[in-house]
Structure 1
Amino acid sequence: MRRANMNPKEKDQITTSQAAVMLINYTLGAGVLTLPRTTVEAAQTPDVWISIIISGMIIMVAGIIIVLLCRRFQGRTFFQFAPDITGRWLAWILNLIIICFFLLISALQIRIMAEVTSFYLLEGTPMGGIIMTFMWIGLYLSLGGINCMARIYEIILPITVLFFLISILLSSKIFDINHLRPVLGSGIMPVIKGIEPALLSFSGYEIMLVATAYMKTPQKATKAVVIGTLIPLIIYLITIVMVIGGISIYGALTRTWPTLDLVRSFEVEGLLFERFESLLLVIWLMQIFSTFTITHYAASLGWSQLFKKNVKPFLFAMLPVIFLIAMVPKNVAETFKLGSAVGQVSIYLFGVVPLLLLLISIVRKKGGRTN
């Protein structure tokens, strides 16, 4: 008879496509609304679309490394198999850091969701009220388990992508290719400077530390990572090109939410919706909501597996913690600053640590061979 809490796959399973959709939804959070500004601030040239492509390839490799590590311990999440590699105490430290990371991402997403909602839709509404409303809705979804969440994401993703592409491509009427020229006019160094903020927007591949254990066919987890990285890469690339081509790098630098401002900068007469920013915003809030629920569940699952308890009490217990963290930044500028700091930590935490653990597990012959 299997030990309790050792195989989360017994009841809650997801398919390869659901794992890819979960990864896509995690990645496509608030980043798409701010990516043009953050990358242009670092590079100061319109060549940031090259930085996006390079970053996407780097993230894909990092995600594959995580999958190779997790497949050596099939049926167990990182929180469960880490002690086999590093020993109990070091694993506890690593697990606590990763749980705190998921909590911070969850709080940042819910705060950005509230900031955008307050600024564009519910002006004057208390920030705490908006945050609590979204959190309780997210809790209701998370209580259904990872399979329930994955099925909701499968509904949200195509709707989001469809309306996003319609809205962003309609801006072609104000698109000017000269805003993207000359290519590499300032050399390669600005492109390299733009890689770091681009990497932060691809944060999401780390969810495979948890999701791989729930997959019906973990042997196809690499496929999920490739698809789950390529689609955000394409969407980010379209966003960067259309925003810079529409409002130029100077416009992207001076706007808090340049992607939304691009959609607000034109009208299409004769259609049911002549202005698309409100529709896009409502749709994209669902995407940010997805990121919040994924990270909230991952953090709660981490606690539950550390203490070998049911996950549901921890889902409730994490709500006040997330709320308090979300209310710490005094304004949107501090929110972005905290998000940048957390993102920089994630580059090393999930870009370097999994590779080291994979090498250690191979040398120490821990876990099964990767199929």
Structure 2
Amino acid sequence: MMVSQQDKITVSQTGIVITNFLLGTGILTLPRTSAEAVKAPDVWLSVAFGGLVAILAGFIMVKLSMESPDKTLYQYSRDLIGKWPGGLFTLLLICYFLATSGFQVRSVTEVMGFYLLEETPLWATAMVFLWSGIYLLTGGINPIARLYEIVFPITVLIFLIVIFMSASIFDIDNLRPVLGKGIMPVLEGVKTTSFAYTGIEIILIIVPFMRKPEQALKATLMGISFPVVFYMITVIMVIGALSIDGVSSRTWPTIDLMRSFEIPGLIFERFESLLLVIWIMQMFSSFTISYFAAALGLSQLLKKRMEPILFSLLPVIYLIAMAPKNINQLFQMGDLIGNSAIYLVGLIPLMLLVISKVRRKKFEKN
């Protein structure tokens, strides 16, 4: 795959792309989903172990990508397992990224409709999101990375200010006892918390766009580390303030935490609006990079220019976003995407890496 030097991105930009893809819906929902799975105050341990699983998966993905650093997963999968099986895998991966894009769009419209734009129909919010995404994506990977470089520090600053403002209602007793029910509930929650780290698979797509692909592992570790810290802080502060039972009964517990306190005398006395601003920016980031990955895959599969494909996929993503009839179906859709990620971007890359290593050894012997 030939990429001009002007279109390539740096190691730090690659790390930020991975971080922005990971920091999506999980900021608002991870405390609830993980609390339901663990049913104990040790949720933060499950989040940490989930991060270790993500780092291991990222290591495997980088090793696979470095087997053919000038090609995307869509291209070298066909070299490794054949044209038709590789083509089928590419199609499944494209569907996965399209479903992820649709899920992000619908999540944003649901939250904005509930908290910000109550009278605005879902389709109107979705269309603004979709067309804004296309405007960015037509410029390629470089404008995407530059936008993320702007979004990320703003996200860090506002997130830390807002989340630590809740310290006034934080109760350390809500996080005790540590391992009161043993280690098993923590381990059972790792699968759920691992879903929050789906997004690291983007490294399988963007290595050919890196100026220094040999530093892909460094970028991946950097890209995963920030979300691990973000998610641990979020889970600790939300559960510490609302308790396990309080978190489990709320749809968007992180927003409810921000609504649970106010600081009179400041310009902003309520802080959920600030949280929603950075969350919407992060969801836009997750949406655009998954949209890019889907369009790139179809472009390489059909050997066509990417720009027309971007426009042709827009109605597909819109239909996917509008498919869930209610919030419960939306969460079921998210679970389905997470479960499919285990196989598509977890087990299959490991299998491809083994095949690649075996082939290389056979070639060296001959």
Give the TM-score range, shorter chain: over 0.9
Whether 2:214 is the aligned partner of 1:219: answer yes
Q: Which moved more, 1:101-110 or 1:264-273?
A: 264-273
Match of 2:241 in 1: 246
Letter in 1 for 2:100: I
Question: Matched residues, percent identical?
Answer: 51
Spell out, residue by residue over 1:230-270, the C-alpha distance to the aligned partner (whole angstroms, 9 max, x if none): 11000000000000000111111111100011011001122
Q: How many angstroms does 1:9 deviate by?
A: 4.8
* Match of residue 187, structure 1, among 176, 182, 185: 182
Q: How many angstroms does 1:283 deviate by?
A: 2.1
Partners of 1:357 and 1:9 in 2: CA distance = 28
RMSD (Å), alpha carbons: 1.4
> Map of 1:97-246 to 2, 5 A cutoff?
97-246=92-241
Partners of 1:223 and 1:26 in 2: CA distance = 17
Match of 1:77 in 2: 72
Match of 1:93 in 2: 88
Whether 2:260 is the aligned partner of 1:271: answer no
Give the match's secondary structure for 2:7.
coil
Spell out, residue by residue over 1:48-79, the C-alpha distance to the aligned partner (whole angstroms, 9 max, x if none): 10001111011111111111111111211111
Partners of 1:280 and 1:338 in 2: CA distance = 24
Partners of 2:26 and 2:57 in 1: CA distance = 19
Spell out, residue by residue over 1:146-196, the C-alpha distance to the aligned partner (whole angstroms, 9 max, x if none): 011000000001101111111011100000000000000011111012111
Partners of 1:61 and 1:7 in 2: CA distance = 29
Letter in 2 for 1:109: Q
Please report the TM-score for the alignment, with normalisation by the length of structure 2.
Answer: 0.97
Letter in 1 for 2:45: I
Whether 2:31 is the aligned partner of 1:36: answer yes
8 Å CA contact 1:8, 1:76 repeated in 2: no
Letter in 2 for 1:225: T
Spell out, residue by residue over 1:8-60, the C-alpha distance to the aligned partner (whole angstroms, 9 max, x if none): 35542011000000000000011110000000111111101000111101111
Give the match's secondary structure for 1:352.
helix
* Match of residue 63, structure 2, among 31, 46, 68: 68
Partners of 2:4 and 2:263 in 1: CA distance = 49
Letter in 2 for 1:181: R
Letter in 1 for 2:323: V
Q: How many angstroms does 1:348 deviate by?
A: 2.1
Letter in 1 for 2:88: I
Match of 1:357 in 2: 352
Whether 2:285 is the aligned partner of 1:290: answer yes
Please report the TM-score for the alignment, with normalisation by the length of structure 1.
Answer: 0.96
Match of 1:3 in 2: none
Partners of 2:4 and 2:95 in 1: CA distance = 24
Whether 2:47 is the aligned partner of 1:52: answer yes
Letter in 2 for 1:178: D
Give the match's secondary structure for 1:349.
helix
Q: How many angstroms does 1:124 deviate by?
A: 1.8
Spell out, residue by residue over 1:263-296, the C-alpha distance to the aligned partner (whole angstroms, 9 max, x if none): 1100112221111101210221011010000000
Whether 2:316 is the aligned partner of 1:316: answer no
Letter in 2 for 1:179: N
Spell out, residue by residue over 1:187-228, the C-alpha distance to the aligned partner (whole angstroms, 9 max, x if none): 111101211110111111000111111000011000011111
Q: How many angstroms does 1:83 deviate by?
A: 1.2
Partners of 1:211 and 1:166 in 2: CA distance = 32
Partners of 1:311 and 1:361 in 2: CA distance = 28
Partners of 1:32 and 1:105 in 2: CA distance = 16
Structure 2: 5+ residue runs without aligned partners? Answer: none
Partners of 1:214 and 1:351 in 2: CA distance = 22
8 Å CA contact 1:22, 1:150 repeated in 2: yes
Match of 1:256 in 2: 251
Structure 1: 5+ residue runs without aligned partners? Answer: 1-5
Partners of 1:282 and 1:235 in 2: CA distance = 16
Partners of 2:319 and 2:346 in 1: CA distance = 28
Give the match's secondary structure for 2:325.
coil
8 Å CA contact 2:103, 2:330 repeated in 1: yes
Give the match's secondary structure for 1:319.
helix
Partners of 2:41 and 2:291 in 1: CA distance = 36
Number of aligned positions between the proteins: 364
Partners of 1:310 and 1:352 in 2: CA distance = 30
